[in-house]
Amino acid sequence: MSTIAPRLSDEQLSTLLDLIKQADSVELKLTIDEPHQQSALHGLRLDPLDAQIRQVFFFETPDLALSQAGLVVRARRVQGKGDDSVVKLRPVVPDELPRKVRESPSFVVEVDAMPGGFVCSGTMKRAIPRACVRDVQAGARATRKLFSKEQRAFFADHAPDGLELDDLTMMGPVFVLKLRMTPPEFARRLVTEVWFYPDGTRILELSTKCAPPEAFTVVAETRAFLAGCGIDTSGEQQTKTRQALEFFSRN
């Protein structure tokens, strides 16, 4: 998170600046490798009993055809909040998106930035009634019923030809603990997520969101805060979704 700029080439930095100008928000992300996760949690003084429980399900083909097309289709069950569904496309170039999609209140363009890399994504999200995801898991509801007409159209525009939402395999769940906090020393909301995969591995991710104009200032502030907590930002980065899809496609 804190080493984004030094690791990017001049061309990459120019591209990043252009994308940030067109984005609705920027999310800075850092994953911590397993040997250092406990010390990171201790440094942040986090209490796992304050975390919100989530289950994340993905919808894919066994050969990950959607991932190869840049699509992520998922649904979540969220403790105390309800369910939601997402159709995400990445990477995207915001000014190349259809106007109808770009201006939809359900659609958000966000730049995710992490040490050494970034990606711009477009996300179509929908809140759905509680128990809908469980109904799909139990085979009592069709997958397409989790998604709005707008989401289904967005999916159809970018999915491989002939592939329908009901053709997809439900993969998961991944068990997730999510905790939001605003440390006094940071004065920004920091989100901590721990993803527990069925094979016993886990990913710890720290993130904070900001408005596009303040992105590079927030990078510096975040770097200073994490360093003060004894957290190393130079480790190899992992992708939560990719690890989940690769696991479920093998099993």
Compute and round to an integer the Cα radius of gyration of the chain.
18
CATH fold for the domain made of 4-250: Hypothetical Protein Pfu-838710-001 (2.40.320)
Supply the pLDDT for residue 177: 98
pLDDT in tens, 8-28: 788 999 999 999 999 999 999
Q: How many CA atoms lie within 13 A of 110 on its CB side?
A: 18
The confidence band for 5, taking pLDDT boundaries of 50, 70 and 90, is very low
Q: Calculate the average pLDDT of the chain.
A: 94
C-alpha to C-alpha distance for 205 and 56, rounded to whole angstroms: 15
Q: Is the pTM of this model over 0.95?
A: no
Q: Where are the domains of the chain?
A: 4-250
Supply the pLDDT for residue 2: 32
Supply the pLDDT for residue 235: 85
**Residues 174, 211, 225, 91, Cα dihedral to 10°:** 40
Q: Is the pLDDT of residue 160 over 90?
A: yes
The residue assigned the tokens 């690890």 is 243
pLDDT in tens, 51-61: 999 999 999 99
